[in-house]
Amino acid sequence: MTNIKEMVIISGKGGTGKTSLAGALSSLFQDRIIADCDVDAANLHLILQPEEVLQTKEFTGGKKAKIDPERCTKCGACKEACRYDAISENFVIDPFSCEGCGACYFLCPAKAVDFSPRLAGHYYICSISGNGRFVFAELLPGEDNSGKLVAAVRNEAREEAVKTGVNFILIDGPPGIGCPVISSITGTHLAVVVTEPTPSGIHDLKRIVELTHHFQVKTALVVNKWDIHPGYTREMKQYCAENDLIFLGQIPYETAITKAQKEAKTILDFAPECAASGAIREIYTKLHDILEEA
């Protein structure tokens, strides 16, 4: 049995500073593998700046249908079967509307439909400074935002962790509450929710906590830009106390974070003395203790 601890950073919604926090934390944790599971729009590599891609793997997603006009008799059976209006009047399939259900393929009497798996994205295993490993993936634009690719990235990270003998896996999760998020939190030791003190922040927080509780994952909260609305920040702390969540910390509004991003640096490297950096270091210390115990 290994004793590898997995932690995932998520947010009910994008743009709450999740990736900036993940980048900063990955420079503080020593003994770790980092995985970017935001496969829809991977960004962490822009901060971590991998030294070398050690391995590239292909990811095939669901199947998509295509009609061979030579064989098609225009009988219309496929069009009638397709519930996604993906088949046009002259029997051409719109790949963007096709769900890949296969109804047209199985029901076509002329066997005119090609239904084969398509390349949906790639994932990469990279080396980062200090002999670390970083796994991230990129979905091809417009492809299904697949929980399967998230699972593939997590698997790869686990294998690398075993191979290199490290104890922590730090996952930058996808935003939202959909399928990829579910894939990224299940079976982790801790989910860290990053949120902002706004009405939508509170709303999104409650929804994501419903999800982490549903999957029985221990949950902690970080409030970013806490000082834009101290009242909501208090409300969120209160919410933590009432709902069995760990309040990990609060980070002040800091314009240097955008500047750090522009230079592709973590805030800790860019402005180590600013209040936000201090707050992140405190968060790290708490996190480390929680994971050791988990």
Q: Name residue 52's beta-bridge partners.
A: 127
* Residue 71 in tokens: 């064989």
Least separation, in Å, of the C-beta of 205 and another protein?
Answer: 11
Which CB atom, from 101 or from 275, has the smaller least distance to ligand SF4? 101
Q: What is the DSSP letter of 227?
A: G
Q: Per rule CB under 8 A, is residue 177 in the interface with another protein?
A: yes
Residue of 10, 21, 25, 108 interacting with ligand SF4 (CB under 6 A): 108
Residue among 156, 195, 192 nearest 39 (CA): 156
Residue of 228, 239, 246, 281 interacting with another protein (CB under 8 A): 228
Residue among 27, 11, 30, 18 nearest 165 (CA): 30
Least separation, in Å, of the C-beta of 59 and ligand SF4?
Answer: 20
Q: Name residue 215's beta-bridge partners.
A: none
H/E run at residue 27: helix 18-28
Q: Which of another protein, ligand SF4, none binds 65 (CB below 5-8 Å, type-dependent)?
A: ligand SF4
C-alpha span between 129 and 281 (Å, rounded): 20
Cβ proximity of 265 and 47 under 8 Å: yes
Q: Per rule CB under 6 A, is residue 102 in the interface with ligand SF4?
A: yes
Residue of 28, 57, 99, 218 interacting with another protein (CB under 8 A): 99
Size of the site for another protein (CB under 8 A): 60
Q: Per rule CB under 8 A, is residue 246 in the interface with another protein?
A: no
Residue of 35, 44, 112, 120 interacting with ligand SF4 (CB under 6 A): 112
Cβ proximity of 107 and 81 under 8 Å: yes
Least separation, in Å, of the C-beta of 273 and ligand SF4?
Answer: 55
Q: Per rule CB under 6 A, is residue 179 in the interface with ligand SF4?
A: no
H/E run at residue 126: strand 113-128
Residues between 220 and 259 that touch ligand SF4 (CB under 6 A): none
Q: What is the DSSP letter of 140?
A: P
Q: Per rule CB under 6 A, is residue 91 in the interface with ligand SF4?
A: yes
Cβ proximity of 164 and 66 under 8 Å: no
Q: Per rule CB under 6 A, is residue 114 in the interface with ligand SF4?
A: no
Which CB atom, from 31 or from 85, has the smaller least distance to ligand SF4? 85
Q: Tell me if residue 173 falls in helix, strand or coil.
A: strand
* Residue 233 in tokens: 């920040």
| Residue 133 CB coordination number (10 Å) | 21
C-alpha span between 149 and 159 (Å, rounded): 15
Residues between 109 and 168 that touch another protein (CB under 8 A): 139, 141-145, 147
Place of tokens 């519930």: 83
Q: Which of ligand SF4, another protein, none binds 175 (CB below 5-8 Å, type-dependent)?
A: another protein
Place of tokens 């707050």: 279
Interacting residues with ligand SF4 (CB under 6 A): 65, 67, 72-78, 81-82, 84, 86-87, 91, 93, 98-104, 108, 110, 112-113
Interaction site with another protein (CB under 8 A): 12-16, 19, 40-41, 43, 46, 62-63, 81, 83-84, 96-97, 99-103, 106-107, 139, 141-145, 147, 175-179, 182, 196-201, 203-204, 207, 210-211, 214, 225, 228-229, 232, 253, 255, 258-259, 261-262, 264
